[in-house]
Amino acid sequence: MKRRNWVGPLLVNGILLLVVIIWTVPTFGLLVSSFRARFDIQTSGWWNVFPHREWETVATIDPKALGLDPDGVMTVEGVQGTFEELRAGIQSPGGDTRVTWVGNKRLGTIEVQQQVWTVTWDFTLDNYKQVLLGSGVEAKNPDGTTELLPGQDMSQAFLNSLAVSIPSTVIPILIAAFAAYAFAWMRFPGRKTMFILVVGLLVVPLQIALVPILRDYMALKLNGTFLAVWLAHTGFGLALATYLLFNYIRTMPRETLESAFIDGASHFTIFVKLIMPLSVPALASFAIFQFLWVWNDYLVALTFLGVDPTYKVLTQRLADLTGTFGNQWQLLTAGAFVTMLLPMIVFFALQRYFVRGLMAGSVKG
């Protein structure tokens, strides 16, 4: 009995810790890298920010001063070897000293290196500047020269993402709330048929709509406008929003509404003054769900916003960067974090609502 009390929690927490580490490390590595200098990212792993052992040159010796013969076996700093062996570097028996011949036989020098504990903490904001600004950014090279790097202007994409996401969140909620109220509290012909349509459309994949809607947009000259994307996100999110809000509004006490009717309030007044304020928890949950959905969306933006760089949203710009600068990790890491910034804030600040919205939204296709 005693043994189990001790082993159980340790095992549980141990496995949990392992999972958490595996789940966190990829994001953490990206975050750390985004603050590392351009040159550092390309030449060493991001884990070098942790203490690790690295070779450090402690002395440089001129072989002539020691009177060494490069053609024979030499003895330096406690190691012994021919020129070729020294060129490759010889480690002392203890392993913490390394002696290397640098240069050619005639003019070379001997470097003595020792392994020391070190951290590479050369953090910079240059990557973010380069990603966010529209103008060029001066960056230092490791050899001391400076270089003008073109800016990627993702701040514009950030604004575009906001301009796409906020209306794409509020508009469907507004429209769905009106519809949900009507389904819950009004009697009209076709009510049931219409609601069955809503339920049936919950899982319809949005791919089905892209080609026909794109044709409509071309006919209406809407292609490439924010309006086009708002309407598309509204259309694709509306079924779920209506369904969820209906389920919520339906459960409100009948008496409250009836007394409001007796006081002579119209449906519109009741909706605005009574139902909306009472539905705030449900509205907030869906709003967060939809906002993150739209903010993180790539396919809809790619299809309807098109190729004009002034309108592109963050996910599009980041995908472009991956395509064009696939190995310039200073751009990709910082760029990825720019796109993740707002969702992360929303996530940590409003996690409770987010979880609730997500659970309710689990029927969405």
Partner 1 sequence: MEQTGAVDKKKAGKVAEAVSWLGRLFLAVIIPVIAFVVIYEGFIFLRDSQAPRWLTALVAIVWGVGGVALLYWVFNGIVERLPDAWTQRLQPFVFVGPAMAILIWYLALPAVRTFYLSLFGRDGPPKGVGFFESFTTDAFVGLQNYVAMFTERLLQEALRNNLMWIVFGSTFSVVLGLVVATLADRSKFEKVAKSLVFLPMAISFVGASVIWNFMYEIRPAEQPQIGLLNAIVVALGGQPFAWDKAVTIAPWNNLFLILIVIWLQTGFSMVLFSAALKGIPEEIQEAARVDGAKEIQVFFKIMIPHIMGTIITTWTTVVIFTLKIFDVVWVMTGGQYGTHVIATQFYRQSFTARNSGYGSAIAIILLITVIPVMIYNLKQFREQEAF
Query: Which of 86, 132, 238, 275: binder of partner 1 (CB under 8 A)?
Result: 238
Distance CA 151, CA 133 (A): 5
| Backbone torsion region of residue 69, taken as left when φ is above 0, otherwise alpha when ψ lies between -120 and 50, otherwise beta | beta
DSSP secondary structure code for residue 71 in this structure: T
x/- contact string, 291-330, with partner 1 (CB under 8 A)? -x--xxxxx---x-----------x--xx--x---xx-x-
- Which strands sit side by side in the sheet containing 52-61, from one edge to the other? 52-61, 109-118, 97-102, 90-91
Residue closer to partner 1 (CB basis): 74 or 168? 168
Size of the site for partner 1 (CB under 8 A): 118
Identified binder of partner 1 from the candidate list 83, 101, 128, 236, rule CB under 8 A? 236
Q: Which of residues 171-230 bind partner 1 (CB under 8 A)?
A: 171, 174-176, 178-179, 181-183, 186-188, 191-192, 194-213, 216, 225-227, 230
Among 60, 104, 324, 351, binds partner 1 (CB under 8 A): 351
* Distance spanning both ends of the chain, measured CA to CA: 48
Minimum CB separation from partner 1 for residue 19, in Å? 6
CA-CA distance, 57 to 111, in Å (whole number)?
7
Binding-site string for partner 1 from residue 254 to residue 293, where x marks contact by CB under 8 A and - marks none: ------------xxx--x--------------------x-
* Rounded-to-integer distance, Cα 227 and Cα 233, Å: 10
Q: Give the separation between CA 201 and CA 182, rounded to whole angstroms.
A: 18
Q: Report in angstroms how near the CB of residue 337 gets to partner 1 at its nearest.
A: 8
- The dihedral of CA 266, 271, 273, 275: what is its sign? positive
The 19-58 contact track toward partner 1, x by CB under 8 A, reads xx--xxxxx-xx--x-------xxxxxxx-----------
